[in-house]
Amino acid sequence: MTIGAILHGRTGAVISARKEDNVRAVVDLLAQNRIGAVPVMENDAIVGIFSERDLVRLLSSYGTEALDRTLDEVMTKSPVTCESNTAVMGALSQMTQKRIRHLPVVDGGRLVGFVSIGDLVKYRIDRIEAEAAAMRDYIAS
């Protein structure tokens, strides 16, 4: 099981932001799309990530004036990434160790996807349930 298997079948581009966007606009983007984080792009390269956790930290430190800052000032720079051929269990382990909930998927220096820990857990549970059903069918036959 690889991250590529999770990305397979997804349509549309990854929702992202630019480093010159202000926090207020990105908060609206997160809310409108019901997502918890976005990769921050410069041209075709990922240069950071901005998440709900970043927003909470900013509001705690700067209050509402944080909303007028640019992502370049406040994003998590040099985000942890994986490749599409990364094993799901390896990615889950990496996310747990680094205490992160979102993982940009980068192949050949190009962003090809974005997964959350929820995506990985759901995929793993679906696989376990499918294996259990197959085992029940095998035993019943």
pTM of the entire structure? 0.85
Which residues, at least 6 apart from 70, have a Cβ–Cβ distance to it below 8 Å? 19, 20, 21, 22, 23
Strands of the 37-42 sheet, one edge to the other: 17-18, 37-42, 45-51, 76-77
Query: For every one of its 141 residues, what pLDDT tens digit does the chain have, with 9 covering 90 and above?
Result: 899 999 998 888 899 999 999 999 999 999 999 999 999 999 889 999 999 999 999 999 999 999 999 999 999 998 999 999 999 999 999 999 999 999 999 999 999 999 999 999 888 898 888 889 888 888 988
DSSP 3-state assignment of 80?
coil
